Structure 1
C-alpha cells in the first residue's frame, strides 16, 4: 500500500472523476483535500498509479483526528483486490471503533467476512441512495419571489448549536465540532425569518455532498426545501464542486424532492455505512 502525497492526490482526483458516480464519496474527499479544506485524513492506494483500491482513513499523525468520528471511505473497482488490501495488517486499525461510510453495498458480505476473521463486530448503520446532477442544465429551478429571495442567506458560527440540535446524527459535542467545521469551511445556505434567524438550511459535508437539509416544523410546506436545493446546487456548480447527495433509503420525501429537482440515480447502486468495533 502507498500513502499518496500532494501531487499524487491531484492525479487521483482526476482518475476518480472519470469513474463517477460510484466514486463520488472518495472523489468528494479528495476534492476538498486538494483545495486545502481542513481534514484529518490520509489517502492510501493498493498500487500507483494504476490503483484499483483507494481508501481515505484517519491520519495517525494528525493530532486533531481524535476530535472527530473515526471515518473511513473506500472505493474499489475489484473486490478481490479490496479483500486482499483489507486483510493486510496496516490497511485498517481494527483495534478501535471506526465507521466505513458511503461504500458500495455489494461489498458488504466481504467486509463482514474480513471483520469476522479478525473477531471484530459490525453492524449496518444506514443504507442510502446516491443522487447526482450530471449537468446543471438538468436542474429544475422553483420560482422565488423577491421577498423570499431577500431572506436567502448563509449560515454562520452563531448557528452551529441550532443546526447541531436538529441534526439526526448530531446533538452532542462531536456533532457540534462537525457542524462548526462544515459551516466554517464549506458552502451553506439558509432562509431566515423577519428577525434574521434561520428557519430552513442546507450544508455541504466534508466529502462535498449536499446534506443536513432541514426546515423548522412551523415553516414547512412553503417550498423552502426546493429553494435551498436549487440555490445550493447553483452555488456549488459556480464554485466547481460536485453535485450529489446521499439519501437514506426510507426517506422518500427527500428522494422525491431531489428527483423532482432534476437529480438522477443509478437504480442498481446502493451505498452503505457500517460500524465496526462499536
Structure 2
C-alpha cells in the first residue's frame, strides 16, 4: 500500500484522504507500521438527499447568493475547526473552490454570511453560518442551493456528519436528508510530504 500511495504523490496535494472504510479497517491501516496514516474522524454517518426533498427556502432580504471564491479561503480556514490537521489546507480549499464552486451567501455589506462546499469525493458539507446570522435559515438556503447544483450536474447528493455533532444531525433531519442505515465511515489522511 505504501508503494501505491507514494506513486500517486506526484499528482496530488500533500494529503490523500481515504474514507468509507469500516472502523476495523481504519484501525488496521493506522497500525500498519510502514504507512503514515492519521485518523481524522471515525464513525461518521452518511446522509443522502433525494431530489424530491430539495426545498429551497426564501432568501432573506438584504442577502445575495454567489459562489465561493479564492478570496474566501482565509475565512473558511478560520471557521473550520479541523483545518489545522492538514498541512496544505489552503491549497486544498483553493482547489475545491476552483473545481467545484460552492455556494456563498453575502450580507448587505458584501461579506460572507454563510457558505457550503462541494468536495472532490462528492460530498457537500463544511457548512458554516457566521454566528450573528444563525437561526435565519441561511444554512438551509445555501445547502439546498448546493444540492440543486449537484443534481443539475447529474450527481447524487450526500453528506457526512460525525456522530457527536448534534447540531449537524438536527440540521440534516430538519432538511429531510436521509441517513444511510447500518453504515458509518471513517476518514484517514496519508501525508506525502515526508516521503518526497
- TM-score w.r.t. the length of structure 2 is 0.81
Are 2:43 and 1:130 equivalent residues in the alignment? no
Higher strand fraction (1 or 2): 2
- Which of these residues, 168, 176, 179, is aligned with residue 262 of structure 1? 176
Give the aligned partner of residue 194 of structure 2.
none
| Structure-2 separation of matches of 1:125 and 1:61 | 21
Post-superposition offset of 1:265:
1.3
Give the aligned partner of residue 56 of structure 2.
141
| Structure-1 separation of matches of 2:120 and 2:79 | 19
Q: Secondary structure at the match of 1:126?
A: strand
Q: With CA pairs under 8 Å and 6+ residues apart, which has the higher RCO, 1 or 2? A: 2
Q: C-alpha deviations, 1:59-113, integer Å up to 9, x for none?
A: 6255343x33133x3xxxxxxxxxxxxxxxxxxxxxxxxxxx23233xx1x5535
Post-superposition offset of 1:199:
1.6
- Which of these residues, 45, 66, 70, is aligned with residue 153 of structure 1? 66
Distance verdict in 2 for CA 1:230–1:249, change over 3 Å = same
Consecutive unaligned residues of structure 1, counting only runs of 5 or more, are 1-43, 45-56, 74-100
Q: Secondary structure at the match of 1:255?
A: helix
Deviates more, 1:110-119 or 1:223-232: 110-119
In the alignment, is the contact (CA less than 8 A) between 1:192 and 1:199 conserved in 2? yes
In the alignment, is the contact (CA less than 8 A) between 1:141 and 1:261 conserved in 2? no
Distance verdict in 2 for CA 1:143–1:117, change over 3 Å = closer
Are 2:102 and 1:102 equivalent residues in the alignment? no
| Structure-1 separation of matches of 2:122 and 2:7 | 23
| Structure-1 separation of matches of 2:28 and 2:72 | 43
In the alignment, is the contact (CA less than 8 A) between 1:140 and 1:262 conserved in 2? no
Deviates more, 1:263-272 or 1:115-124: 115-124
Distance verdict in 2 for CA 1:234–1:116, change over 3 Å = closer
- TM-score w.r.t. the length of structure 1 is 0.59
RMSD: 2.9
Larger radius of gyration: 1
Give the aligned partner of residue 273 of structure 1.
187
In the alignment, is the contact (CA less than 8 A) between 2:15 and 2:87 conserved in 1? no
Q: Secondary structure at the match of 2:128?
A: strand
| Structure-2 separation of matches of 1:215 and 1:222 | 9
Give the aligned partner of residue 15 of structure 2.
69
Q: Secondary structure at the match of 1:187?
A: coil
Post-superposition offset of 1:122:
6.7
